[in-house]
C-alpha cells in the first residue's frame, strides 16, 4: 500500500515539474525544471525496478544533453528585458495548434483497448542489467543493431553539417 | 537497517574529515615542493589549521551580488557538495565484519548498476559549477562555468569507455564484484595499464584539478566560477572538490588497484581480514590523493585548445582501441575463434 502512495506522489511531482517547465517565465528556470523532470522520470523507472534504464536516462539526458541546453542558453544571455515579445496573432495561432494537438491525442487515446501483455511477466528482474543485456543481444539483436546504425548515420551527418565544405574536401 | 544508518554516518564523517585534512595536507605538500615550511602556527605542526580555516569561512560576511539570480546562486554550492558526497554510497570499504548475529557488509548499497551510478552522479555534478557561475552575473564566472561544462562533457566519454574494459573483464558492473575479481595481487592495473592512464587523466579533468583547472584559472579568469562567492558558499565549492578527490581516489583504487585486496590476504580471516582490508584500501586512497597533489604542484596548466585536443583527439581514440583489443583478447581466450 505504501508503495502505491509513493508511486502517486512521484507521478504527481513528475507532472508538476513538467508543467513548471512550460509555465516558468525564465528560460534557465525552465531548463532547471526539465532537469528535475528527468530525475523524477528516472525515479519512476527505479520504481519499476528498471535500474539500468533509470541510470542511462540520468546520464544521457540529465548529465549530457541538458548540459548542452544550459550551455547554449547561458551564451544567449536571455533576460526579462530583451525577451522577444510575441504578438497576439502568434499567441492565438499557438493556442489553436496546441488545442488541436490535444484534441487529436484525446480522440486517439480514448478508444484504445488495453491489451493483455502477451508475455506474462513472472519476475520483476527484467530491468536489471544482466537480463536486459541478454534480451538485447539475443531476441532483439536486429532492432538493436539497426538503431545503432541509425545513430552512427546521425553522428556522421552532424559532423558533416558542422564542418565547412572546404574542410571536408581536404 | 540500523547498521546501514550507522555506516552512512561514519562514511559521511570520514569523507568530511578527510576532505578537511586534505586541505592541510595540500598546503604541506605545496610547501614541501617549494622548499617552505607551510602552515605551522595553529596547534602542533599546524594540525588545527583546517579548523581555523573553517571558523574563518563561517565568520565571513555571507554576500549575494545584487543582480544575481538569488535562488540559483545559493543552489550552486549545494548541488556541488551534494553530488560529491552521494557517490560514496556504493563504494565497498572492506570485507564483511563477522559478528555473532551475522555479517555486517561494509557497503551502503550494492546496486545492480554499480559503476554507472558513479558516472551518472559525476555527470550531474557539473550543474553546481554551471549554475553557480551563471547565477553570479559576472562574465568571468560565466566563462568558468562554460569551460567547466565543455571540459566535463569531453572527458566523460573517454572515462566511460575506459571503465567498460574493466566491466568486460569482470562481467559485472557492481563495484563489489569488480573488487572480488582482483583477489590478492591479481589487480586490474597489470592487465589494463592504458585504461588506468586514461581513467586517471579523465578523473583529474572531471575534478577540475590542475593541470586541468581551467574553470578557476586565476591568471585568466580571476577566480573562475566562484569569483563572486564568499563565506561558506565558497567553502562548499572548495570542500566539494576535496571530497571529490577522496571519492575518485577510492574509485581508482577499487577499479585498478584491487580495492581492499592486498597480497597475502589468504593467511588471515574474519575480523582481522576486514580491518586489514579497510586499512589497505585507505592506504591506496591516501597514496592517490598524494599523487593528485603531486601533479598539481608539478605540471603547469593546459591551454583550453590543448585540453580539448587531448580529450577528443587523443584519449577517446586510445580508449576505443583499448576497448577493441580487450574485446578481441577476451573473445580469443574464451574460445570463440576455435
Question: Quick one: how far is CA B45 from the chain centroid?
Answer: 27
Average pLDDT value for chain A: 81
Q: State the ipTM, two decimals.
A: 0.78
pLDDT band at A80 (very low <50, low <70, confident <90, very high): low
Rounded (5°) CA angle B282-B288-B293: 130
CATH number of A1-80: 1.20.120.1200
Q: What is the pLDDT of residue A77?
A: 63
Note whether B281 and B93 are within 8 A (CB): yes
Residue B247 confidence (pLDDT) above 80: yes
Query: Which residue carries 577499487 as its cell?
Result: B254
B89 CB near a chain A CB, below 8 Å?
no
**B113-124 in b/e burial notation, b at 16+ Cβ within 10 A?**
bbbbbbbbbbbb
Best probe of the A interface among B76, B114, B127, B168, by most A CBs < 10 A, is B127
pLDDT band at A84 (very low <50, low <70, confident <90, very high): low
- Nearest CB neighbour to A71, from listed B117, B119, B146: B146
A-chain CB neighbours of B145 within 8 Å are 74
Residue A97 confidence (pLDDT) above 90: yes
Per the structure, the count of domains in chain B is 1
pLDDT in tens, A119-164: 555 566 666 777 888 888 888 889 989 999 999 999 899 888 887 7
Average pLDDT value for chain B: 84
In DSSP notation, A23-36 reads H-SSHHHHHHHHHH
- Nearest CB neighbour to A28, from listed B112, B113, B134: B134
DSSP H or E stretch at residue B33: helix B2-33
Cell of residue B112, nine digits: 545492480
Residue of B nearest to A60 (CA): B120
pLDDT in tens, B73-131: 888 888 888 888 888 888 888 787 777 777 777 777 777 788 888 888 888 888 888 88
Question: Quick one: how far is CA A13 from the chain centroid?
Answer: 16
CA distance B224 to B301: 14
Q: What is the pLDDT of residue A81?
A: 54
Q: What is the pLDDT of residue A100?
A: 95
Average pLDDT over every residue of B296-315? 85
Neighbour count for residue A101 (Cβ, 10 Å) = 10
Question: Quick one: how far is CA A75 from the chain centroid?
Answer: 23
The reply to whether residue A67 touches residue B111, judged by beta carbons under 8 angstroms, is: no
B61 in the Ramachandran plot: left (φ > 0), alpha (ψ -120 to 50) or beta? Answer: beta
Cross-strand partners of B104 = B97
B84 in the Ramachandran plot: left (φ > 0), alpha (ψ -120 to 50) or beta? Answer: alpha
Residue A112 confidence (pLDDT) above 70: yes
Q: What is the pLDDT of residue B150?
A: 83
How close does chain A come to B120, measured CA to CA in Å? 5
Cross-strand partners of B102 = B99
Residue of A nearest to B137 (CA): A77
Q: Which domain holds residue B140?
A: 2-333
B338 domain-assigned: no
Q: Where are the domains of chain A?
A: 1-80
Q: How far apart are the first and last CA of chain B?
A: 50
The rounded percent of chain B whose pLDDT value lies above 70 is 99
Q: Cβ neighbours of residue A25 under 8 Å, at least 6 residues apart?
A: A80
Neighbour count for residue B152 (Cβ, 10 Å) = 24
Residue B166 confidence (pLDDT) above 60: yes
Q: What is the pLDDT of residue B267?
A: 78
Pick from B150, B148, B134, B225: nearest CA to A29: B134
Residue of A nearest to B156 (CA): A64
How close does chain A come to B88, measured CA to CA in Å? 16
B295 domain-assigned: yes
B157 domain-assigned: yes
Chain B 307-336, residues with CB within 8 Å of chain A CB atoms:
none
- Nearest CB neighbour to B123, from listed A28, A32, A63: A63
Neighbour count for residue B28 (Cβ, 10 Å) = 20
Q: What is the pLDDT of residue B58?
A: 85
pLDDT greater at residue B330 or residue B184: B330
Q: What is the pLDDT of residue B192?
A: 85
B193 domain-assigned: yes
Residue of B nearest to A62 (CA): B124
B-chain CB neighbours of A128 within 8 Å are 112
Question: Quick one: how far is CA B306 from the chain centroid?
Answer: 23
Rounded (5°) CA angle B5-B10-B16: 125
CA distance B107 to B30: 34
Hey, is A58 helix, strand or coil? helix
B116 CB near a chain A CB, below 8 Å?
yes
A–B CB contacts, 8 A cutoff, strictly below: 60
CA distance A96 to A78: 27
Amino acid at each position: 500500500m505504501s508503495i502505491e502512495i509513493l508511486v502517486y506522489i512521484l507521478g504527481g511531482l513528475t507532472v508538476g515539474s513538467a508543467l513548471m517547465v512550460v509555465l516558468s517565465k525564465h528560460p534557465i528556470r525552465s531548463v532547471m525544471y526539465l532537469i528535475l523532470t528527468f530525475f523524477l522520470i528516472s525515479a519512476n523507472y527505479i520504481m519499476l525496478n528498471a535500474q539500468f534504464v533509470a541510470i542511462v536516462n540520468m546520464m544521457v539526458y540529465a548529465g549530457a544533453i541538458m548540459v548542452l541546453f544550459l550551455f547554449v542558453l547561458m551564451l544567449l544571455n536571455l533576460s526579462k528585458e530583451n525577451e522577444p515579445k510575441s504578438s497576439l496573432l502568434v499567441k492565438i495561432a499557438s493556442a489553436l495548434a496546441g488545442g488541436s494537438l490535444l484534441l487529436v491525442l484525446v480522440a486517439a487515446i480514448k478508444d484504445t483497448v488495453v491489451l493483455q501483455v502477451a508475455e506474462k511477466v513472472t519476475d520483476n528482474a527484467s530491468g536489471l542489467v544482466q537480463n536486459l543485456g541478454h534480451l538485447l543481444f539475443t531476441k532483439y539483436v536486429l532492432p538493436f543493431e539497426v538503431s545503432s546504425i541509425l545513430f552512427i548515420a546521425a553522428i556522421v551527418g552532424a559532423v558533416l553539417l558542422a564542418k565547412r565544405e572546404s574542410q571536408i574536401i581536404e | 537497517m540500523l547498521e546501514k544508518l550507522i555506516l552512512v554516518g561514519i562514511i559521511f564523517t570520514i569523507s568530511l574529515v578527510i576532505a578537511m585534512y586534505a586541505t592541510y595536507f595540500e598546503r604541506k605538500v605545496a610547501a614541501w615542493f617549494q622548499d617552505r615550511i607551510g602552515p605551522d602556527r595553529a596547534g602542533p605542526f599546524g594540525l588545527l589549521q583546517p579548523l581555523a580555516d573553517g571558523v574563518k569561512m563561517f565568520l565571513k560576511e555571507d554576500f549575494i551580488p545584487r543582480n544575481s539570480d538569488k535562488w540559483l546562486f545559493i543552489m550552486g554550492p549545494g548541488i556541488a557538495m551534494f553530488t560529491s558526497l552521494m557517490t560514496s554510497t556504493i563504494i565497498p570499504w572492506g570485507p564483511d565484519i563477522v559478528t555473532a548475529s551475522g555479517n555486517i557488509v561494509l557497503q551502503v548499497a550494492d546496486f545492480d548498476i554499480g559503476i554507472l551510478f558513479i558516472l551518472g552522479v559525476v555527470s550531474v555534478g557539473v550543474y553546481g559549477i554551471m549554475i553557480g557561475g551563471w547565477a553570479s552575473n559576472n562574465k568571468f564566472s560565466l566563462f568558468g562555468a562554460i569551460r567547466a561544462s565543455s571540459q566535463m562533457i569531453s572527458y566523460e566519454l573517454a572515462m566511460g569507455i575506459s571503465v567498460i574494459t574493466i566491466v568486460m573483464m569482470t562481467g559485472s558492473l557492481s563495484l563489489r564484484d569488480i573488487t572480488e575479481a582482483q583477489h590478492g595481487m591479481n589487480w586490474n592495473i597489470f592487465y589494463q595499464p592504458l585504461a588506468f592512464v586514461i581513467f586517471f587523466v579523465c578523473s583529474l579533468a572531471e575534478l577540475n584539478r590542475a593541470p586541468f583547472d581551467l574553470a578557476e584559472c586565476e591568471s585568466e579568469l580571476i577566480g573562475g566560477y566562484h569569483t563572486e562567492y564568499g563565506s561558506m558558499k565558497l567553502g562548499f565549492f572548495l570542500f566539494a572538490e576535496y571530497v571529490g578527490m577522496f571519492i575518485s581516489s577510492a574509485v581508482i583504487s577499487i577499479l585498478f588497484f584491487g580495492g581492499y585486496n592486498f597480497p597475502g590476504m589468504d593467511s588471515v580471516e574474519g575480523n582481522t581480514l576486514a580491518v586489514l582490508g579497510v586499512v589497505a584500501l585507505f592506504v591506496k586512497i591516501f597514496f592517490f590523493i598524494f599523487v593528485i597533489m603531486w601533479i598539481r604542484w608539478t605540471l603547469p596548466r593546459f591551454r583550453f585548445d590543448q585540453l580539448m585536443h587531448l580529450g577528443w583527439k587523443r584519449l577517446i581514440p586510445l580508449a576505443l582501441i583499448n576497448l577493441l583489443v580487450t574485446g578481441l583478447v577476451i573473445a580469443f581466450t574464451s574460445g570463440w575463434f576455435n
